[in-house]
Structure 1
Amino acid sequence: MKKLILLISFVLIGITVQAQEKIEWMKFEEAVAANQKDPKMLLVDVYTDWCGWCKKMDALTFKDPEVVSYINERFYAVKLNAEDTERTFDFMGKEYSEAKMAAVMRVQSYPNFVIIDETLKNITQLPGYREPDQFLEGLGLIVKKGFRGQ
């Protein structure tokens, strides 16, 4: 009986730990609101539903424990569908659809990762599919350069 309880406990702990090992994706306006309370850069994953490389990023790179940890610690992570004209939100006094925001950020290929500094004014892009190590290297260079809009 003790072994059964111990086994169930380990399974439940394993499920809990595994459930925490994912990127905490937000909507754009949620990330902006969170940034006002605790400033961090925003990592915006601009994707389309038909993009095979976007799906591969979701399936592989964004499941990598190091990538998950790095993004969750340093960024507010946002998913933005570059073709969604229905869902709208306010940003800096203007209304945007997800598609319009992607256009304003000058995204022209997918996947594309837009990094917005803590002041929500300066952006840079990290375009294209990347394996976990490549993705971490690219993000690391941006963070190391002190991309903070200062």
Structure 2
Amino acid sequence: MKKVLGMLAIGLLITSQLQAQENEITWYSFEEVIDKVEADPKMILIDVYTDWCGWCKKMDKDTFTDKDVIAYVNDNFYAVKLNAEDSKKKFNFRGKEYSEQGMARAMRVSSYPNFVIMDAAMENITQLPGYREAKPFVNSLVALLENFKH
């Protein structure tokens, strides 16, 4: 009986983890994406935020919880959260050491929220500054990918 209950518990845990993956954007650190993009090339969506930014919090609460946004971002991008004021966490990119703050500056981000789009070669393509509701956010990402493919 204990084995059956144990198997059932494992099954429920796996099921809940799969549902969680479908119900939220999979966020990576910048350094994780450096490795992922080499193994499986994909565009990168970087959410540059600050802890004090009210519109950033609204994006997290409203836009990033929308099922269409979640599905589109997870299917088409590696999503990264980058705190524009974090100077402690360090990583290497193209032979240089950066903090998240330093990377945000290098990307020339000066307002929040701001979404930096990189191609699979990790070159900046564009920025999408400002708060966006779910449907317009997905529409802008779809248009961007369509333009990029041509």
Q: Tell me the TM-score normalized by structure 2.
A: 0.86
Q: Distance in 1 between matches of 2:117 and 2:127?
A: 6
Kindly indicate whether the alpha-carbon contact (under 8 Å) linking 1:117 and 1:147 is maintained by their aligned counterparts in 2: no
Question: What's the CA shift for 1:146?
Answer: 1.4
Q: Distance in 2 between matches of 1:124 and 1:64?
A: 23
Give the one of 54, 57, 66 matched to 2:56: 54
Partner of 1:83: 85
Give the letter aligned to residue 142 of structure 1: L
Q: CA RMSD in A?
A: 2.0
Q: Describe the superposition over 1:52-105 as per-residue Cα deviations: whole angstroms up to 9, x where unpaired.
A: 000000001000011001000110000000000000100011000000000000
Residue aligned with 1:143, SS: helix
Q: Distance in 2 between matches of 1:147 and 1:49?
A: 34
Give the one of 33, 45, 52 matched to 1:43: 45
Residue aligned with 2:78, SS: strand
Residue aligned with 2:97, SS: strand
Which residues of structure 1 form unaligned runs of 5+? Answer: 1-7
Q: Distance in 2 between matches of 1:33 and 1:15?
A: 27
* Matched residue count: 139
Partner of 1:111: 113
Question: What's the CA shift for 1:26?
Answer: 0.4
Q: Describe the superposition over 1:100-138 as per-residue Cα deviations: whole angstroms up to 9, x where unpaired.
A: 000000001000000001111232101100000010011
Partner of 1:101: 103
Q: Percent identity?
A: 57
Distance 1:147 1:51, change over 3 A: farther
Question: Where do 4+ consecutive residues of structure 1 move more than 3 Å?
Answer: 12-18
Give the letter aligned to residue 76 of structure 2: R
